[in-house]
Structure 1
């Protein structure tokens, strides 16, 4: 039994959950006067064991991977209309549970915190979730954490290569991703600075386990677009010292903008790029340690006449973020 102060939105609710052979029932009651919650009598809702057609993965474990490595399908019953994944601590030890739950249980399990049980995250899905690896780092250091994803999404692996300052920086990103960004290529040629991104998707548990860099499918075939390329400290330097190059592959726009590279190196850059990646001035952003922070509106066009804001040309947005030593690449979904 738990007695405490709580918000009204969890008042007077009943619900249930099942995690394999473990069943959970709860009933909340509220009152609004001093010491009014004195009653200690247990009062549980009636049990409904009628299967309702929903099946969820049921498991318990010290972390998400341990849990789902031993998950088994369980039929949901009664008002259990959601698949739940919840994490926190029980008796001061980390835990993850997955199974069937009612919608009211999803709300209730976001607010519990007492000396024995603390819930830090609860996810509820309308169908059994898919489980994907979730990490960001160099190919040798992408630590494989695990995350539960909505079944409508895909497990994503992105390979990123940035050539900047005469050095090559490689990055692997694994996470849940929208289906519409699957198996796409993003490239940019800004003279001495170049960007290559290859996104791959799959649709089964733990399928994005591969941590090897894969940009082999990115096309280097010249296309019909020519752009001025430059990566320099100022726009004036690029206006005086630029090279016109023939764009390649899916580089369908000339773009121009400026920003801060790796925390303290301000650069203006212009060149060929895949138009899909640009949505607004914050699409290239940074955290500590950094890659790029855009400081002005990006301009783009289908020729070297850079006079149009990029925002309306784009289908998807990306953000290049920094962390894990050099930087982190993250797709906002």
Structure 2
């Protein structure tokens, strides 16, 4: 496609123009678009027109003018000096900004939330385009934008937070880059310890609402972990029962054991228990370098761990550098 655009930078009081080629993510069809967006440090009113014949973008569009408030109010994510956690304030939307939105962007300071006022055209185009149109300075989108059309509907998610042996006094916290709440009960079979966790969770750990079993048995760590994910404010109020020791289920897998002073594993067979319906093999980054890791695990771990980067709630194993590759027959993880 071809595009012609006229841009008013409200904060800088600058005007600029753009004509050029456009990908289908920016120009999904012929016609006019309004990409007006107001976020914490960038406010632009952008009128654009897309077309699909040679040099059809010859027109220079009129400069957008400052627009009046339209009655919609949205939360606005503001970062103070030195902080990577935003404070939320209310902003009045103007002109074509008929949606509130919430998203996450990749910046030099990591993945940060971004929120404010925008237009319907931005909501429809930005998820596929990967950035807020003509606002690349805000950062590349890693999630969203999620848009809505009522006052302050882009409120950030709040989750109850606590961890430890009781988790009896959780406090409500505002999530940053996380999009879900989670509650988990953890039985460490190796040590006999029981613990609980409630807090915000990234979509890599909680890809959807529901219950998960993260039971895993590797050479020096064996945990049974029951978890529940949800996506509404403070929905993780339930304390899940402590998982009980489970019986062998008939599946046998190789487990990788490192003897003192050696970085080469010796394979032994382990009997899987309970929900551990998969054998797996992978590699993890440890203090001794990248080492093989293998054992019994559950389908939920196999589905989640490759994107999550660690075996859920088993950070002591190390960050995954490959896998886990999972299979469902005896000693298939050779």
- Equivalent runs, 1:163-242 vs 2, <5 Å: 174-177=200-203, 180=208, 182-205=210-233, 207=235, 216-228=241-253, 230-233=255-258, 237-239=266-268, 242=269
For residue 260 of structure 1, the aligned residue among 280, 284, 288 is: 284
Question: 2:87 — aligned with what?
Answer: 66
- TM-score (norm. length: structure 2): 0.52
Within 2, Cα distance between the matches of 1:27 and 1:112?
13
Q: Deviations over 1:10-58 (max 9, x none)?
A: 7974455689xxx98554689xxxxx9999x854499896x9xxxx761
Question: 1:119 — aligned with what?
Answer: 138
Within 2, Cα distance between the matches of 1:29 and 1:80?
18
SS in 2 for 1:205: coil
- TM-score (norm. length: structure 1): 0.52
Shift of 1:232: 0.9
Question: 2:325 — aligned with what?
Answer: 298
SS in 2 for 1:276: helix
Question: 1:330 — aligned with what?
Answer: none
Shift of 1:100: 5.1
Question: 2:10 — aligned with what?
Answer: none
Within 1, Cα distance between the matches of 2:308 and 2:115?
37
Long gaps (5+) in structure 2: 1-12, 51-57, 80-84, 106-111, 168-172, 311-315
SS in 1 for 2:249: strand
Question: 2:55 — aligned with what?
Answer: none
For residue 116 of structure 2, the aligned residue among 77, 84, 98 is: 98
Shift of 1:101: 2.3
Shift of 1:189: 1.6
Question: 2:175 — aligned with what?
Answer: 146
Within 1, Cα distance between the matches of 2:292 and 2:234?
40
Shift of 1:246: 5.5
User: Does structure 2 retain, via aligned residues, the 8 Å contact 1:164–1:192?
Assistant: no
SS in 1 for 2:266: helix
Shift of 1:188: 0.8
Question: 2:6 — aligned with what?
Answer: none
For residue 297 of structure 2, the aligned residue among 273, 283, 287 is: 273
Change (3 A) 1:131 1:217: farther
SS in 1 for 2:267: helix
User: Does structure 2 retain, via aligned residues, the 8 Å contact 1:3–1:37?
Assistant: no
Shift of 1:182: 2.6
SS in 1 for 2:156: strand
Long gaps (5+) in structure 1: 31-35, 89-93, 310-333
Shift of 1:4: 4.2
Q: How many residues align?
A: 266
User: Does structure 1 retain, via aligned residues, the 8 Å contact 2:75–2:155?
Assistant: no
Change (3 A) 1:306 1:42: same
Q: Deviations over 1:196-233 (max 9, x none)?
A: 4443333333656x8x9x77543423253353563413
Within 1, Cα distance between the matches of 2:290 and 2:34?
57
Within 1, Cα distance between the matches of 2:220 and 2:113?
48
Change (3 A) 1:57 1:197: farther
Within 1, Cα distance between the matches of 2:326 and 2:207?
28
Q: Deviations over 1:291-323 (max 9, x none)?
A: 143557735324xx22379xxxxxxxxxxxxxx
Within 2, Cα distance between the matches of 1:132 and 1:87?
13
SS in 1 for 2:14: coil
For residue 155 of structure 1, the aligned residue among 151, 155, 180 is: 180
Q: Deviations over 1:251-304 (max 9, x none)?
A: 223x14252352425554443321232259956847xx97143557735324xx
Within 2, Cα distance between the matches of 1:18 and 1:265?
46
Shift of 1:71: 5.4
